[in-house]
Amino acid sequence: MTASTSANFRKIAALVAAAGTLFWLYTFYFIAHVPSGDGTGFQWLAVFPLGRSSCCSSCRPGY
DSSP-derived secondary structure letter, 52: H
Q: Is residue 34 part of a domain?
A: yes
Angle between helices 47-59 and 3-32 (to 10 degrees): 160
Q: Is residue 13 part of a domain?
A: no
List the chain pLDDT tens, one digit each, 63 residues: 676 778 888 899 999 999 988 988 888 888 877 777 677 777 777 777 666 655 555 555 554
Q: How many domains does the chain have?
A: 1
Distance, CA of 42 to CA of 34 (rounded, Å): 11
- Which structural domain, as residue segments, surrounds residue 45? 25-63
pTM over 0.85? The answer is: no
Q: Is residue 12 part of a domain?
A: no
Distance, CA of 50 to CA of 37 (rounded, Å): 21
Q: Is residue 19 part of a domain?
A: no
